[in-house]
């Protein structure tokens, strides 16, 4: 014979501590006054004494807990929030008590099974997308290599006939100018100007191809900023005189830095050419070099239209285009600043711009005074 009182107590102890269901006792205000072991393990002891509604996730604002608690004949699927912030879907039944309500709940295993299936399906889709992305990346790398190779080959092959055009055009200008009419002389000048512009574009394409292929080789050597500028100023002064642009040069302190002189000269020529091309006749361009701690900083300031803030983003990327036009209609494919950035970064330096619309622009190139430790 079983002892009824012991059996009832054992049943109550099992329901409280070991039963695979969640049980809450609510008072008339629907606050949790008591909970069994599983409920406390799922929701924590902080559940006690708090309104059950605090744990409900009411995504649509349609849950009326009082009405649900009064419905004793149906099972409801409700979403609760666990202490770690994750949602937990339970099947809930409300049972009346003399002084409140008993809430019995169990996990919605059907939903968990469906969720597991959905997660597996999503995982398969994600794996497939990952494989497709890897293939797409491999294809893009191959296309990029082909593009770089094509640019290099095309630029190299175009240089030879273009060099012939420039050489014979300059010969005609120097040797046969006296026999040409003003109109023909104008035609020849146009041909030469177009050829020079094309050579600059081809050089840029070839430089990009070399840099992107990883074949850029720097030959750093000690040089003073005045030595670097000696290879820059003759070209720039000629461009400035043609457009009637004033040019000022200021080297604040003597000293030396270690750099690939020809590539830094090319970078400064590019920046100064841009400053002149965006300036109106009668305006001025300033070139300044100064020692700033462990770096040499070159700055090029103009009085052009300036660069809008939205145009400054991505300014040093290939094929970037400015909102402002060059004042004499000079052509550009948007590679010069990208090449300048790549060359400066190869020197472990930094290039940036400061500008406001209508206030001109100042480009800065900061280069470490010592590029390699083994270079004296």
* pLDDT digit string, tens, across residues 181-223: 888 888 887 787 777 767 766 766 666 666 666 666 788 889 9
Q: Which two tokens stand for residue 222?
A: 């000690």
Mean pLDDT of the chain: 80
| 97-130 per-position pLDDT tens digit | 888 899 999 887 766 677 667 778 888 888 888 8
Instruction: Kindly state whether residue 184 falls inside one of the protein's structural domains.
Output: yes
Same domain, 154 and 202: yes
Same domain, 227 and 358: yes
Instruction: Kindly state whether residue 126 falls inside one of the protein's structural domains.
Output: yes
Range of the domain at 134: 113-212
Least confident of 84-88, 124-128, 334-338, 365-369: 334-338
pLDDT score for 372 = 46
Same domain, 185 and 93: no
Query: Among the three residues 189, 212, 235, which one is the final residue of a domain in this structure?
Result: 212
On the question of pLDDT at 67 being above 50, the answer is yes
Instruction: Kindly state whether residue 373 falls inside one of the protein's structural domains.
Output: no
Instruction: Kindly state whether residue 376 falls inside one of the protein's structural domains.
Output: no
**Band of pLDDT at residue 353, cut at 50, 70 and 90:** very high
Q: What angle, 0 to 180 degrees and rounded to 10, lies between the N-to-C axes of helices 182-212 and 109-175?
A: 140
Indicate left, alpha or beta for 125 from its phi (over 0: left) and psi (-120 to 50: alpha): alpha
pLDDT score for 112 = 63
241 phi/psi in degrees, rounded to 5: -65, -40
Same domain, 187 and 231: no
pTM, two decimal places? 0.50
Q: How far apart are CA 267 and CA 261, in angstroms?
A: 10
Mean pLDDT of 228-234: 87
Same domain, 93 and 134: no
Same domain, 189 and 260: no
How many separate domains does the chain show?
Answer: 3
Mean pLDDT of 140-167: 70
pLDDT score for 272 = 92
Of residues 27, 48, 31, 49, the one with CA closest to residue 39: 48
> Which CATH number covers residue 301?
3.30.565.10
Instruction: Kindly state whether residue 232 falls inside one of the protein's structural domains.
Output: yes
Instruction: Kindly state whether residue 375 falls inside one of the protein's structural domains.
Output: no
Query: Among the three residues 212, 234, 262, which one is the final residue of a domain in this structure?
Result: 212
Same domain, 252 and 333: yes
283 phi/psi in degrees, rounded to 5: -85, 180
Same domain, 249 and 353: yes
Task: Return the higher-pLDDT residue of 174 and 237.
Answer: 237
On the question of pLDDT at 371 being above 70, the answer is no
Same domain, 251 and 350: yes
On the question of pLDDT at 87 being above 90, the answer is no
Same domain, 267 and 364: yes
| 3-61 per-position pLDDT tens digit | 555 465 665 566 666 678 888 899 989 999 999 888 888 888 888 999 998 888 887 77
Query: Among the three residues 75, 107, 139, which one is the final residue of a domain in this structure?
Result: 107
Instruction: Kindly state whether residue 374 falls inside one of the protein's structural domains.
Output: no
**Band of pLDDT at residue 283, cut at 50, 70 and 90:** very high
Q: Which residues have a Cβ under 8 Å from the Cβ of 9 and sit 6 or more positions away?
A: none
Instruction: Kindly state whether residue 177 falls inside one of the protein's structural domains.
Output: yes
For residue 100, list its beta bridge partners.
97
Same domain, 158 and 31: no
> Which CATH number covers residue 128?
1.10.287
Task: Return the higher-pLDDT residue of 190 and 347.
Answer: 347
Same domain, 177 and 205: yes
């Amino acid at each position: 014979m079983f002892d009824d009182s012991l059996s009832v107590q054992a049943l109550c102890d099992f329901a409280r501590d070991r039963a695979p269901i969640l049980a809450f006792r609510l008072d008339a205000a629907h606050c949790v006054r008591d909970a069994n072991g599983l409920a406390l393990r799922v929701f924590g002891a902080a559940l006690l004494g708090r309104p059950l509604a605090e744990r409900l996730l009411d995504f649509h604002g349609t849950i009326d807990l009082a009405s649900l608690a009064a419905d004793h004949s149906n099972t409801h699927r409700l979403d609760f929030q666990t202490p770690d912030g994750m949602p937990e879907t339970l099947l809930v039944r409300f049972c009346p008590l003399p002084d409140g309500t008993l809430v019995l709940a169990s996990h919605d295993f059907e939903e968990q099974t469906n969720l597991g299936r959905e997660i597996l399906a999503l995982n398969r889709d994600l794996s497939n997308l990952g494989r497709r992305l890897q293939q797409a990346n491999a294809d893009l790398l191959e296309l990029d290599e082909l593009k770089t190779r094509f640019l290099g080959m095309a630029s190299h092959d175009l240089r030879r006939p273009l060099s012939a055009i420039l050489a014979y055009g300059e010969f005609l200008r120097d040797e046969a100018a006296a026999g040409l009419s003003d109109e023909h002389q104008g035609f020849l000048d146009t041909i030469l100007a177009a050829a020079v512009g094309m050579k600059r574009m081809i050089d840029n394409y070839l430089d990009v191809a070399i840099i992107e292929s990883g074949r850029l080789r720097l030959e750093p050597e000690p040089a003073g900023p005045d030595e670097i500028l000696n290879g820059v100023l003759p070209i720039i002064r000629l461009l400035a005189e043609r457009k009637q642009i004033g040019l000022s040069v200021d080297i604040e302190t003597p000293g030396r830095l270690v750099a690939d002189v020809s590539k830094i000269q090319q970078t400064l020529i590019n920046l100064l050419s841009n400053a002149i091309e965006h300036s109106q006749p009668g305006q001025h361009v300033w070139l300044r070099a100064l020692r700033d701690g462990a770096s040499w900083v070159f700055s090029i300031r103009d009085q052009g239209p300036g660069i809008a803030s939205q145009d400054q983003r991505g300014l040093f990327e290939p094929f970037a285009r400015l909102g402002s036009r060059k004042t004499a209609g000079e052509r550009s494919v948007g590679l010069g600043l990208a090449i300048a950035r790549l060359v400066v970064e190869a020197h472990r330096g930094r290039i940036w711009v400061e500008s406001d619309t209508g206030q001109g622009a100042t480009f800065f190139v900061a280069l470490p005074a010592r590029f390699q430790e083994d270079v004296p």
